[in-house]
Amino acid sequence: MPDATRLTPLAVMILATLREADMHPYELMRLLKERRDDRLVPLQKGTIYHTVARLERDGLLAEVGVDRDGNRPERTTYTLLDAGRHAVEHWVRSELPQIDRPSDFRVALSEAHNLERDEVVALLDRRRALLISSVEEHRAGLGRAAESETPEQFLVELQRQAALLDAEVAWQDSLRARLSDRSLPWGIAEIPEHIQKKHRVSKETTP
């Protein structure tokens, strides 16, 4: 099996979406756009079809049927294999604690519901330690700059980053608290059935 950490963010999102139900690439693209996942990764028809083909070649998903709707071209439906499910989980575990790859973290966060609640809390705790270290580093840098009388106009970017880090820590602490006290529903099993139907989520295809 290929190294899951080398999956592209788009590949992870495709595999994660197939956890919900078998789909053809066009349906995958439509659903991802409907959920506004194009905020996280570019969603282009050619790239999606190419990625699906590569994932099939790597043994992470498999063809389960070919349909034709009227005069439209045939559409191949794919299903997620166990290897693909494990690859998603492994990728999220690898990226969720990181702070140096913001775009990958956003995808990992959007797919964190594929992991158990307690594991997500533990991974976020690891990330918090890195965030705090970075906050302290930025504060120390600003302190040294003040001591050396560095003109503030040269420090505005550093000030911005320090403020963003403070906000990130506060946001993550809030998320962790909601996960820990279970006030935030987590996992497909905790989504009400009428909401599952509305958003095309199915329990039956999850492990």
Domain CATH code at residue 15: 1.10.10.10
Residue 22 lies in a domain: yes
Q: What is the pLDDT of residue 134?
A: 95
Question: Which one, of 23, 30, 29, 27, lies nearest residue 10 by Cα?
Answer: 29
Residue 118: phi and psi, rounded to 5, are -65, -35
69 and 23 in a common domain: yes
Percent of the chain topping pLDDT 70? 87
Report pLDDT for 198: 63
Contacts of 101-108 with CB under 8 Å at 24 or more apart are: 103/9, 103/40, 104/9, 106/40, 107/9, 107/12, 107/13, 107/40, 107/41, 108/12
Element at 122 (helix H, strand E): helix 117-147
DSSP reduced 3-state for 54: helix
Residue 155 maps to a domain: yes
Of the residues 91, 110, 129, which one is the last residue of a structural domain? Answer: 110
Q: Are residues 89 and 42 in the same domain?
A: yes
Q: Residue 207: pLDDT above 70?
A: no
Q: CB–CB of 87/60 below 8 Å?
A: yes
Residue 48 falls inside a structural domain:
yes
- pTM equals 0.85
CA atoms within 13 A on the CB side of 165: 21
Look at residue 194 and tell me if it is in a domain: no
- If one counts the domains in the chain, the total is 2
Q: What is the pLDDT of residue 191?
A: 72
Residue 11: partners with Cβ closer than 8 Å, 6 or more residues away: 51, 54, 55
How far is Cα 30 from Cα 23, in angstroms, rounded to an integer?
11
Q: Which tokens in the block code for residue 90? A: 């492994």
What residues form DSSP beta bridges with 65? 77
Which of 76, 110, 144 is where one domain is finished? 110
**Do 155 and 80 have their domain in common?**
no
- Same domain for 87 and 106, yes or no, is yes
Dihedral Cα 33, 35, 39, 40, nearest 10 deg? -100
At 163-193, the pLDDT tens digits run: 999 999 999 999 999 999 999 999 877 677 7
| CA dist., res. 184 & res. 143, Å (int) | 38
